[in-house]
Amino acid sequence: MWRSAGAAFRACSGFGRQPLRGLSASPSGAQKGVTLSVSPPVGLADEPLHIQVQGLSPGEPVTVRALAVSYYGRLFQSCAHYEADNIGALDLTKDPSQGGDYTGVEPMGLMWSLTPAGMENPYIRMVQRSVLKKPLKLEVTVHQAHNQTGLLLGQVLASARVERWYATPEIRAIRVREGTVRGSFFLPPGDGPFPGVIDMFGDEGGLHEFRASLLACRGFATLALPYFAFEDLPPIMKDLNLDYFAQAAKFVQNHPKVKGPKIGVIGSGKGAELAFSMATFLPDVAAVAKATTIKEALARWEEKSGQKPSEAKEVKLYAQIPPVEKMDASLSMLANCEKLSLSTNCIEKIANLNGLKNLRILSLGRNNIKNLNGLEAVGDTLEELWISYNFIEKLKGIHVMKRLKILYMSNNLVREWGEFVKLAELGCLEELVFVGNPLEEKCSSEGNWIDEATRRVPRLKKLDGVPVIKEDEEEEG
Work out the average pLDDT over 342-369. 92
- For 61-85, b/e burial (b = at least 16 CB within 10 A) is bbbbbbbbbbbeebbbbbbbbbbbe
Identify the pLDDT of residue 473.
47
Round the average pLDDT of the chain to a whole number and report it.
Answer: 87
Report the distance separating Cα 248 and Cα 230, nearest Å. 15
pLDDT tens-digit series, residues 415-466: 999 999 999 999 999 999 999 899 999 999 999 999 999 999 999 999 988 8
Query: 122 and 411 in contact (C-beta within 8 Å)?
Result: yes
Question: Which CATH number does 172-289 carry?
Answer: 3.40.50.1820
DSSP code of residue 239: S
Contacts of residue 352, defined as CB under 8 A and 6 or more positions apart, other chains included, come to 327, 328, 329, 330, 331, 332, 374, 377
What's the pLDDT score for residue 113? 87
Give the alpha-carbon dihedral of 419, 424, 426, 427, to 10 degrees: 180
Task: Say whether 427 sits in a helix, a strand or coil.
Answer: coil
Under a CB-based contact definition with an 8 Å cutoff, are residues 431 and 460 in contact? yes
Question: Bigger pLDDT: 210 or 99?
Answer: 210
> What are the start and end residues of each CATH 3.40.50.1820 domain in the chain?
172-289
Residue range(s) occupied by CATH 2.60.40.2240 in the chain: 33-165
Q: Which pLDDT band, with edges at 50, 70 and 90, does 74 fall under?
A: confident
Which CATH class name applies to 33-165? mainly beta
Of 98 and 204, which is predicted with more confidence?
98
pLDDT value at residue 219 = 96
For residue 392, pLDDT over 80 is answered with yes
Whole-number pLDDT of residue 19: 33
Amino acid making up residue 211: R
- Asked if residue 6 has pLDDT above 70, the reply is no
Contact 45, 136 (CB under 8 A): yes
Checking phi first, is residue 206 left (phi over 0); if not, alpha (psi -120 to 50) or beta?
Answer: left
Class of domain 308-467: alpha beta
For residue 470, name the pLDDT band (cuts at 50, 70, 90). low
Reply yes or no on whether the pLDDT at 386 is more than 50.
Answer: yes
28 vs 396, more confident: 396
pLDDT at residue 149 is higher than 80: no
Work out the pLDDT band at 32, boundaries 50, 70, 90: low
Q: Quick one: what percent of the chain has pLDDT higher than 70? A: 90
Does the structure show a pLDDT above 50 at 336?
yes
Residue range 247-299, pLDDT digits in tens: 999 999 999 999 988 999 998 778 888 888 898 899 989 888 777 889 999 99
User: What pLDDT is stored for residue 124 in this prediction?
Assistant: 74
| Residue range(s) occupied by CATH 3.80.10.10 in the chain | 308-467
DSSP codes, 212-224: HHHHHHTT-EEEE
pLDDT band at 147 (very low <50, low <70, confident <90, very high): confident
